[in-house]
Chains A and B, each alone.
Chain A
Amino acid sequence: LAKTTQPPSMEAYEGQEVNVSCSHTNIATSEYIYWYRQVPHQGPQFIIQGYKDYVVNEVASLFISADRKLSTLSLPWVSLRDAAVYYCIVTDIDSGGSNAKLTFGKGTKLSVKS
C-alpha cells in the first residue's frame, strides 16, 4: 500500500476555500485515493474517492495529478463545521477481498476561524 504524506495542520477563515494536499509517490496502478474526515468525538466520515483526473460531489472536489502522485482535496466556502482531521488514504480495491484495507494516518487537522 502506498504511503501518504499530508501537512499536519492547516488554518482557514470561514468562507475561504481550503485545499488539502496529499502526496502518494508510490501509488500503484491498482490503488484508489480516498478522503475521510473526523470531527472530535465522532467516527470518520467518507468524503470522496477518485482514481485520476477530477472528481466532484456535493461536499468537495478532488484533483489528482496526471502522474497520480499528488491529490488535492478542495473544500469550498469552509464553515466552523468543517473543522476536523482530514485523512487521505490510498488503497486498492480487491473485489475478492474480505477486509476493507483502510489505514488511517495522522491526517491534516483543519482549524477554521470565524
Chain B
Amino acid sequence: SQQGEEDPQALSIQEGENATMNCSYKTSINNLQWYRQNSGRGLVHLILIRSNEREKHSGRLRVTLDTSKKSSSLLITASRAADTASYFCATESKETSGSRLTFGEGTQLTVNP
C-alpha cells in the first residue's frame, strides 16, 4: 500500500500561475524526492530534500519539508503548459536498508495555455 498521500489529486491552473502540491507520509525518513511523469512515461527526478533540510530550491521549484508534521510541499512558480504532468513524492524510510522508495498517489497538474 502507498505510504504517502498527496493532495490535491488533481489541479488545474492557468499558465503563469503558481501550483502547490502537498504530500504526507507516515514513517521516519532519510529523504523525500519529487518526480514528474508525463502520460504514463518514465519518472523524471525533480528534487531531493534530506530530512535535516527544511527548504530547497531548483529553478522554478521550491520544496519544503516538515518532519514534525510528516509532510512536504512542492511549489512550481510561473507555471507553463509544459508543466502539465503527474507529480509524485517518494520517501526513503529510515527503517529500510538499501534503496527502496515509497510513493504517494500523485497529483495530476493541468496547466491551461
Bound pair: A and B?
no
